[in-house]
Structure 1
Amino acid sequence: MFSERLSFRHYATEDFNDYFKLVSSADVMKMITGRPLTEGETRERFDKMMEVNRENVNLGHYKVSIRENGAFVGHSKLVMTEKNEAEIGYVLMPEFWRKGFGEEIAKTLILRARKISEIATLIAIIDPENQASQRILEKQGFHWDSDGDYFGLPAANYKMKL
């Protein structure tokens, strides 16, 4: 999968170190888990992501890189949550913040979802204080649905009908 500046591909075993660099950053994880992940926690998550990727070639967890030079930008996902509903998500390395990559990733995932007939609704779960992600989602056509919690942290739930 590609966008103008980015390439998306399912993670491979050799991508663990890039993923660990992302999720072990306190700055990156501040609005996701509230803290960086340990290597053990990261390994557990990574193994589950790889399993999801093996189960469905059209969906899953993607390593996002710059098309031109292969630089690791971050993580994105398009995963089923329930019948006819999928979740999009993205996390970027700090050096790629505020450069339009979040919007580019969201657009790409939405386009992918529109090609999958089983998906009628997309959701996104963000930290309510993450105004950058809120703007990205609303610009793409998502609407606030509810507030709640996500693994014990405050969460704003957004939805989009395809």
Structure 2
Amino acid sequence: MYLASERLVYSKFRESEYAIYASWYTNAAVMKHITGKALTEQEARERFGKAMATNQEHPDMGFFAARLKATNQFIGIAKLAYYQSEYIEVGYGFLPEYWGKGFATEMLTFLVDYSRHLPGGRDLIAIVDPKNTGSKKVLTNQGFVLYDSKPEDGRPTEYYKLSWVRYSGTD
């Protein structure tokens, strides 16, 4: 299956791609608004194992490497995964040298559109560090609304939701 947006191509992570996965999760700047710090090598390996399990369990969802169409250069990660029993979590992020170039908007637009074709019609959720104003702006511009704010793993966390009724314009 070929998944692409205007400038990016997406492919589910494979076991052989641990190094690029780890390059993202062990990057302190990337992880500042996710866990508060870069993951250790062991933490990255554990998270990669969980990502691989999710990728195997759900053929149309999981953790995707995002690459530039023009060069095939890895630049970030996209995520679509079940959250609790009622939501699909969307996640997106890029290596710092690709920040501020519109890739987050492009990726989130792709994830929202792609998720419309998944079975079950679940609402989408995004989990965000309240200090990550750029990500919050990308979410609200796409129609996500803040619906909860509570600590997760001891860190302040905001939860944004996009309901299918709101998204489809059929309030």
**Is TM more than 0.5 here?**
yes
Structure 1: gaps spanning 5 or more residues: none
- Which residue in the other structure is 2:160 paired with? 158
Any idea what the Cα deviations from partners look like across 1:50-103, whole Å, max 9, x if unmatched?
A: 011001111111011101111111111011113341000012100100000011
Aligned amino acid, residue 84 of structure 2: E
Identity of aligned residues (%): 35
Q: In the aligned structure 2, how far is the partner of 1:3 from the partner of 1:150?
A: 32
Rounded Cα–Cα distance in structure 1 between residues aligned with 2:67 and 2:154: 31
The yes-or-no answer on 1:45 pairing with 2:72 is no
2:81 is aligned to 79
- Number of the residue aligned with 1:148: 150
3-state SS in 1 of match to 2:43:
helix
The one-character-per-residue Cα deviations of 1:112-148 (angstroms, maximum 9, x if unpaired) are 1111131330000000011100110001110011111
Task: Kindly provide the amino acid, as one letter, of the partner of residue 57 in structure 1.
Answer: P
SS in 2 for 1:153: coil
- Which ranges of structure 2 fall in alignment gaps of 5 or more residues? 165-171
Match of 1:61 among 60, 63, 75: 63
Paired amino acid for 2:99: W
Give TM-score, length-normalised by structure 2: 0.91
Q: 2:11 aligns with which of 9, 12, 21?
A: 9
Q: What is the letter of the counterpart of residue 29 of structure 2?
A: D
More strand by share: 1
**Please, which moves more after superposition, 36-45 or 115-124?**
115-124
Which residue does 1:118 correspond to in 2?
A: 120
Aligned-partner residue type, residue 66 of structure 2: V
- Show structure 1 runs of 4+ deviating over 3 A: none
Aligned to 1:129: 131
CA distance in 2, matches of 1:70, 1:141: 30
Distance 1:147 1:161 in 2: 17
Q: Is the deviation greater in 35-44 or in 80-89?
A: 80-89
Any idea what the Cα deviations from partners look like across 1:3-33, whole Å, max 9, x if unmatched?
A: 0100111101121111111111111111110
CA RMSD of aligned residues (A): 1.0
Following superposition, the deviation at residue 150 of structure 1 comes to 2.1
Report what 1:23 is aligned to. Answer: 25
